[in-house]
Amino acid sequence: MKKHILLLLCCYTTTYSQKKDLNIKKFAFNQCLILNYTKIDSTFYSDTNDASTVQFSVNGNFDEDNELKESINNYTVLKTSNYYSKKNNLHFESGDKNIIFCNCFNFYESVELDKFIKKLLKR
């Protein structure tokens, strides 16, 4: 019986940790989008009424951990704040286009972000 409880506890802990890791990544991705689209259009965030950042922090159980959220925000700003102005090789008759979503998604999938999150959670 004790072995079963221990196994269940280990599975829960692993799942909880993965859930937190994943939601931190989603939180950073969303922050990247907000940061960069807002630099193009200052009304972007207020017009969307999107509360995804808050939902990711609730899902990952770090909604009240202001130090963790601030660390994620600072890292995201450091790594992604110029995505709105990055040039690309796409050309359209209607003018230049941005690839903010693509850049933020690459940031989301990056090994560098994974390493940062692992380091952050070890504190």
As a whole number, mean pLDDT of residues 28-55 equals 90
pLDDT: which is higher, 16 or 111: 111
pLDDT digit string (tens) for 77-91?
999 999 998 888 787
* pLDDT on residue 18: 57
Angle between helices 2-40 and 111-122 (to 10 degrees): 120
Q: Is the pTM of this model over 0.85?
A: no
CATH number, position 48: 1.20.120
pLDDT: which is higher, 45 or 101: 101
* pLDDT on residue 91: 77
Give the residue numbers spanning the domain of 20: 2-122
Q: Which of 61, 74, 49 is nearest to 24 (CA)?
A: 61
* Total number of domains in the chain: 1
DSSP for the chain reads -HHHHHHHHHHHHHHHHHHHHHHHHHHHHHHHHHHHHHHH-TTHHHHHT--HHHHHHHHTT-TT-HHHHHHHHHHHHHHHTTGGG---S---TT-----HHHHHHHHHT-HHHHHHHHHHHH-
User: pLDDT class for 6, splitting at 50, 70, 90?
Assistant: very low
